Structure 1
Amino acid sequence: MLDPIEFIQNASSITKKSMNRLKLKANPFSEKPIRGNTKFFVGRTTELMEIADILGAAQYGSVANAAIVGTKGIGKSSLLNVIYYAAKRQNHWAVELEASQITPRQFLIQLMHGIIRDNLFTMDGTLSTDYLEHSQKIIDIYRRLDSYSDKTPVHYPREKIERDLDYLLNNVKEDGKLCIILIDEADQFARKGCLRLLQFFHSFLYEDGILAFFAGSPTLMENLTKVSPAMRDRLPKIINMPPLSNEESYDLILRRLKDAQIPKAKDYEPFTENAVDVIVEECDGIPRKIIMTCSEAISIGLKKGLNEIDEDIVKMAMKKLGISVGHQILNHLTPAQSKIVKALASFGGKSTVTELAKVLNNSPGTVGTHLSDIYEMGYIYKERSGNNVYYMLSKELNDVLIDKDNEDLD
């Protein structure tokens, strides 16, 4: 009869031996937040300079709130985390929040809760001696906040919340300090249900001593201003996060490996040079893709009891994760363009504008315009046969869309 505890112990022992075989003490590829440890943070010199300029100017009253924008996995959350700890080192108040569809009152509650918990209390959960003269008021506020939920108690109306926040910002916070608000996944605010919240931001983001960074997709500002045009003025600075350069991608991998390698391991071990080249080439400078690919490749290596990880193992990891040039192209397409290339796949990868328009229930003119744009980007091809012009998927899209359909049928 199988003893589950003994089974786990034996399996763990095997994994440890396999990890040593790969010349690693542990798998160093984790997506955990940086949390102040910047030894794995690479590149972003231009973006850091922009942030330094914004912080520097804000300390002298020239506040310019900013949007940090980029594709999924590009490192926006990590950059917000860097700002958080940089602000704390400079003795500013800093609060990290994640956007959700909430009312202005609920947002204020989350904000105040974060201000007190992260800035006025010490690590052991007691009030900092810097704020003892305000201790009774702060503790009273925190007690009301500590049990908040989606439904704020009636005895704590928004007017009272705003007065308490004003007290924290103008009486408790020292002159010269900023209250820096970092909001991740800010695209969640770009909905009609958040209009009241965005309207609240119109005045709140003009308060003295408040500096905000909103992080989101490349279309964040376009999405927010569709709901509330005034947001353009409230977030005048836009920090774009491009993919890492090849050199930075290599550095990202090497830094993490060096941190976890056993003594006498060399360079990129356990990865071969060709394996690292494939990762850098295929992951398109997206940190999350690089980290996920390396982590999955190590997992496969452990299961197979390998001594090294070559390009075949890396490609196996990418296939399992769905990381390929074709997937990257799909991520770059708009929803309308994505529908069109998927419709092309349903025709076996080759079709006319008329056929596609019929399937998509759209006008040939609209479909033709989208096809022309996708063609200009080099993601599809076209050829003339008699009176007809046929559009065809590129090999990269064909591999993803057609092969995926076949896999689903298996």
Structure 2
Amino acid sequence: MIFMDPIEFIQKSASSIKNTMLKLKLKYNPFSEKPIRGNTKFFVGRVSELREIGEILGSAMHGSVANAAIVGTKGIGKSSMLNIIYYATKKQGHWVVELTASQVTPRQFLIQLLYNILTENIISMCGTIKTEYLEYSPKILEMYKMLNNYGDKVPIHYPRERIERDLQYLIDEVKDPDKLCIVLIDEADQFAKKSCLSLLQFFHSFLYEEGILTFMAGSPTLMDNLTRISPPIKDRIPKIINMPPLSVEESYDLIKRRLEDAHTEGAEEFEPFTEEAIDKIVEECDGIPRKIIMTCSESISIAIKKNLTKIDEKIVTEAIHTLGISVGHQILNHLTPAQSEIVKAMAKLGGKATVTQLSEYLKKSPGTIGTHLSDICEMGYIYKEREGNNVYYILSRELREVLLKGD
């Protein structure tokens, strides 16, 4: 056996990746899934959604607050939209906090909210209070001291009632009345569970306070999910901003912008991808930004492994197979367990069925089946047709490809 120094092996492997990347006329792989963090050169489309957000912000600055839900399927760009809001409002001098609702208890979330208001808006990076808030320093420093190690273990001596009072103090006393406190919450569907009822009840009163504007991001059924747990929350979040898939033109633009940023000198528009490869990506990814980015990234990875200089349709097909991200699979991943059960039952019944047929097959009430079908239909994953006196619900092409493979 030939001796191989592991350190040299790693270094040679790293160098070979760089050399292959240059063969592809790229300085680096530009298809990163990381948040754009205010880098607007990679942000594509969304003109109507941005305009609506601008109108909501403008109205809130003049006393007419309407909290909003930003909804859409997985990978559609909700987190990027929250990120854009963060930087846009930060530039205007508003207090802004960006939070994720996943895997936290209500109390932990409130602590995180309070801590982020302090560290992102009131206390500088070096740990000192910003000049404009010095007059409130004793109270602010007391909060900061208690929260400074909250990430390791939540201090048991900071009761939830006090957290809520301290939040109220910051909003009412410390914040400039001419500025807003903007709360951005990603993955807000995580609040749609009974254990979060008290948190939703807190939001019901918190979101009614003057000067607070909240954007919650989640699935297309976010508001239905939240109001099922706490019906009054619907009145506090009256605006719903739907995030549709990118248009074909916008999908091409997304790929082009990222490639241009990474191209070496002399590279053509979509190199190293062939025109057929780009067409395949746009067709298969159905305007879902994350799918486009993942497919392009995986295609580049495969090309590097094979030491190629071009990425053709065959490589893209291999990438899609590797990722397993067909549109149909993405839809199934997005559906709730009850919705998934219904579309699978539709497949068992040949791809189309009436409410009555599904009710008998699943042994559930027609009302329950009808409600789920309406939700799935509204999301565009199934459609309905009338045949005589019967209304049939029919699987979309994407779901048929996954659930009726032999069809």
Q: TM-score, normalization: structure 1?
A: 0.85
Counterpart of 1:180 in structure 2 is: 182
Residues 189 and 218 in structure 2, CA contact (< 8 A), matched pair in contact too: yes
The match for 1:203 is 205
1:92 corresponds, among 85, 91, 94, to 94
Partner of residue 225, structure 1: 227
Distance 1:105 1:280, change over 3 A: same
Deviations 1:337-391 (A, max 9, x none): 53355467789x78999xx979965369799979999999897999xxxxxxxx9
Q: Tell me: CA distance 1:398–1:63, structure 2 relative to 1, closer, same or farther (3 Å).
A: closer
Which residue of 309, 312, 315 corresponds with 2:314? Answer: 312
**What SS class does the counterpart of residue 164 from structure 1 fall into?**
helix
CA contact (8 A) 1:66 1:214 kept: yes
Structure-to-structure mapping, 1:40-55, within 5 angstroms: 40-55=42-57
Partners of 1:141 and 1:162 lie apart in 2 by 12
Match of 1:110 in 2: 112
Alignment of 1:284-303 (within 5 A): 284-303=286-305
- Any idea what SS the aligned residue of 2:157 has? coil
Quick one: which of 141, 153, 175 aligns to 2:143? 141
Structure 1: distance between partners of 2:120 and 2:92: 14
Instruction: Indicate the residue corresponding to 2:257 in structure 1.
Output: 255
CA distance in structure 1 between the partners assigned to 2:107 and 2:328 by the alignment:
44
**Count of aligned pairs between the two proteins:** 396
Structure 2: how far apart are the matches of 1:224 and 1:368?
Answer: 20
Is the contact made by 1:93 and 1:115 (CA closer than 8 Å) also made in structure 2?
A: yes
Deviations along 1:141-175, whole A, 9 cap, x unmatched? 10101122697534322333233222222222112
What's the CA shift for 1:103?
5.1
Does 2:377 match 1:362?
no
**Partner Cα separation in structure 2 for residue 202 and residue 367 of structure 1:** 28
Q: Say which is worse superposed, 48-57 or 392-401, in terms of deviation.
A: 392-401
Amino acid at match of 2:363: N
Hey, what does 2:157 align to over in structure 1? 155
Tell me the amino acid that sits aligned with residue 219 of structure 2.
Answer: S
Aligned to 2:23: 21
- 1:220–1:394 Cα change, 3 Å: closer
Contact 2:67 2:214 in 1 (8 A): yes
Partners of 2:204 and 2:233 within 8 A in 1: yes
Q: CA deviation at 1:244?
A: 0.6
Counterparts of 2:289 and 2:314, CA distance in 1: 21
* Rounded Cα–Cα distance in structure 2 between residues aligned with 1:96 and 1:62: 22
1:281 is displaced (CA, Å) by: 1.1
TM-score under structure 2 length normalisation: 0.86
C-alpha contact (below 8 Å) 1:102/1:194 kept by paired residues? no
CA contact (8 A) 1:104 1:200 kept: no
TM-fit CA distance, 1:109: 1.5
CA root-mean-square deviation: 3.5
Structure-2 change in CA distance of 1:312 and 1:94 (3 Å)? same
Percent of matched pairs sharing the same residue: 64
CA drift of 1:4 comes to 1.4
